[in-house]
Structure 1
């Protein structure tokens, strides 16, 4: 029996398989035929767990897989692994898929197409960037290649290029594996997802765990040895010996396939969708995950944020709409957390540079506090920074750096941003209190009070 509707999914990770699974809950196989293509060896996996796998804190790769290919198939989804979609024919409503093991190509028709092609690690066009011993980290295949390389390397010198989330997390993982680690970044401080004054705390913590942090340094090339393997990372000032190099330069939307098909892209190269996650101008084409741009609810502009939390939500929205229900994805406020050793790092909303770029006038407030009542054992210091709009007092962003109990406090600020609260309104929030969990005035509320005072002073 021929299915009434054909749904084709490109990409077998969070967004793609969430969309397929959600649509299947709405419609049975004899009403909706779902075919998904994944070019890698793994499906529905946690890329965020790769640094912890590399560092030996969690097992992998099986522990990082939420649902196997066979489990998807048992639920009525025709998931084809090691199959890469190489062309989208919008006019003909079909995609060309290549079996990477057998080398054969075949066209597959669709009534609904879901583009969930993820993101690609940034690999700048430097000499030696593709040499053996240089690794990007985005998929479980990448993670396995890295771990195999670490195991098979006699030398213990590692250089991480880039000090963003992945770079910092991979630096810690390499330290755990006994490598001598150097992190090279062109910015004044690591973690450009924080303002520089907050990034200083991350810099200090990394140095404290034995990592050499080189900032303000542009990488000019990868030096290779006589055997062709990586031997050093070169900057304008000096070379840093390396037996292993890990790229932590961030990611870009994986939209080459979509761009070739003529689908609309935004400033960062991500696909542009409406609130239903339908690609703009295309009634039966949907997109979600790390390959799209989303609405920033604070700045009002679209931006690219590669996070599994968003990808899963995108997939749920897409699957619901294809299945016959109704759902939307309203946007994000830019919340993210990470850690280096025992230092927790969190941010939400806009940084100073981002607020300035969209024309917002703001005040800032930074406070020092503790995770628990100061007299309670285990109280640890934390720093909280807030941005508030001049005049209105609307919260624009928050950053928190501290030890245990610091990072998840950012969720209070994320809710306040979503609700468009002012920092003055935040001071009245009824947050939980007991000495083992918080001072009488929670650090977030202390920062809100100081920000509210700064707004009043600016108005005066």
Structure 2
């Protein structure tokens, strides 16, 4: 379905990928593209913010794939510092506010793309809006954090508390540790990294503690202590975090509690949302029941190929693919997004963390019976210099042996091994079939039996033993 006037809400991965792909297919004389972005930056890597904060990479310019000026030169009317405040679906128009001048006006569309992203979770606790408390969702957030750190007394010492031990939490703990902060991570779950099973999360905790990061689990933050002006004072700054029976001093607090789909506009307009609050789309990324509205990126729910249901998974890899699909369809072509298996990797210092597919709790919730297998192995042949340990955990369906999920925690060379499992999940392979995979081998790269295949052999034996 080709459209004449395309309006895009959101100027990062999904929105600008859609705009760029549509522009490749249709010139300005065939398709007018107007994109609204409330921040200063477009087409950037939010995943790089922790590495910018830790001084590993430069920013923000190094994290930007394409600037607003570059998009404009390609015939896209991109308006930064402009926030869409209302959708009129029946009237095919959006209301946009210029954040610098405060002026508002309506803009008509023939096609609409919603790429509004996600918002960091901010619990409604005392002091949460104090100076020194940061989210890390956008480059503007990253800029605010960097500027705030620069204002601290360089003599130190400095203390930081990270609330939440998911991907962002552990990465920001590393970043602040690299800057010389004494870092405490507070997580209400039993172990860090709720994206892993607790037994694998315990390995992450052990490694973080070994790096000098204090990890407090099973504890929920109840309030933030601020300076003498109080939580509502214009100059109030965070001084401590209260969790459980303890008070943790802090000049910097980073929120790593995860994100939620930013779908307030869509909800107000009556568009369909899933259980997690994300927009529901068909495989062509059209919003269900609306032939001229598309959505992609962190504001949508995606189809989980393993669990057989929709889930909210906020990842730039998905967002860019969504944008390509949307742009193709908007431009008169045809493309679909088949779904995901839930692959993600991360690191904290030299510890690599990876997962794909289902965790034990997710498999149980999906009504699946399963076996598990956990193995200890090394990244290279044991006798080869530099071989590092890794732990691989595998889930397989009890009756069929179908692979359900893999988690890997280890040192250099561990995380990207999860890609083998991601391919096997997509192909719906059994763990027995995986044992015959012809993977590359040489002592500098792998033991004779790759750790993933060792886990597959053990899982296949568990399936056979329980048949």
Interval of TM-score (by shorter of Structure 1 and Structure 2): over 0.9
Specify every segment of 5 or more residues in structure 2 that has no aligned partner in the other structure, as ranges.
230-235
- The aligned residue for residue 43 of structure 2 is 44
How far apart are 1:93 and its partner, in Å? 0.1
What are the equivalent positions in structure 2 for 1:413-452 lying under 5 Å apart? 413-452=421-460
- The aligned residue for residue 357 of structure 1 is 365
SS at structure 1 position matched to 2:299: coil
What are the equivalent positions in structure 2 for 1:33-432 lying under 5 Å apart? 33-154=32-153, 156-227=158-229, 228-432=236-440
How far apart are 1:210 and its partner, in Å? 0.6
CA contact (8 A) 2:3 2:331 kept: no
Cα distance in structure 1, aligned partners of 2:225 and 2:307: 42
CA shift digits 1:52-81 (9 cap, x unpaired): 000000000000000000100111100001
Runs of 4+ that moved beyond 6 A: none
Count of matched residue positions in the alignment of Structure 1 and Structure 2: 457
How far apart are 1:150 and its partner, in Å? 1.1
Cα distance in structure 2, aligned partners of 1:393 and 1:4: 47
Cα distance in structure 2, aligned partners of 1:68 and 1:394: 44
- The aligned residue for residue 7 of structure 2 is 8
Shift in alpha-carbon separation, 1:4–1:125, aligned structure 2, 3 A: closer
- The aligned residue for residue 30 of structure 1 is 29
CA shift digits 1:363-405 (9 cap, x unpaired): 0000000000111111111000000001100000000011110
Cα distance in structure 2, aligned partners of 1:255 and 1:124: 18
Cα distance in structure 1, aligned partners of 2:376 and 2:79: 52
Shift in alpha-carbon separation, 1:4–1:213, aligned structure 2, 3 A: closer
CA contact (8 A) 2:85 2:96 kept: yes
Cα distance in structure 2, aligned partners of 1:231 and 1:336: 34
How far apart are 1:153 and its partner, in Å? 2.1
SS at structure 1 position matched to 2:32: strand
Cα distance in structure 2, aligned partners of 1:173 and 1:4: 45
RMSD: 0.9
CA shift digits 1:31-68 (9 cap, x unpaired): 00000000000000000000000000000000000000
How far apart are 1:4 and its partner, in Å? 7.0
CA contact (8 A) 2:87 2:94 kept: yes
Specify every segment of 5 or more residues in structure 1 that has no aligned partner in the other structure, as ranges.
none
CA shift digits 1:304-327 (9 cap, x unpaired): 000000000000000000101100
- The aligned residue for residue 232 of structure 2 is none
SS at structure 1 position matched to 2:297: coil
SS at structure 2 position matched to 1:290: helix
Cα distance in structure 1, aligned partners of 2:217 and 2:32: 52
How far apart are 1:236 and its partner, in Å? 2.4
Cα distance in structure 2, aligned partners of 1:219 and 1:354: 26
**Normalising to structure 2: TM-score of the pair?**
0.97
How far apart are 1:237 and its partner, in Å? 1.4
CA contact (8 A) 1:275 1:330 kept: yes
SS at structure 1 position matched to 2:298: coil
- The aligned residue for residue 233 of structure 2 is none
Cα distance in structure 2, aligned partners of 1:246 and 1:434: 42
CA shift digits 1:412-458 (9 cap, x unpaired): 00000000000000000000000000000000000000000000111
Cα distance in structure 2, aligned partners of 1:4 and 1:313: 20
Cα distance in structure 2, aligned partners of 1:406 and 1:267: 33
SS at structure 1 position matched to 2:69: helix
CA contact (8 A) 1:4 1:30 kept: no
CA contact (8 A) 2:3 2:110 kept: no
CA contact (8 A) 1:69 1:79 kept: yes
How far apart are 1:151 and its partner, in Å? 1.3
CA contact (8 A) 2:441 2:448 kept: yes
Cα distance in structure 2, aligned partners of 1:231 and 1:263: 42
CA contact (8 A) 2:3 2:111 kept: no
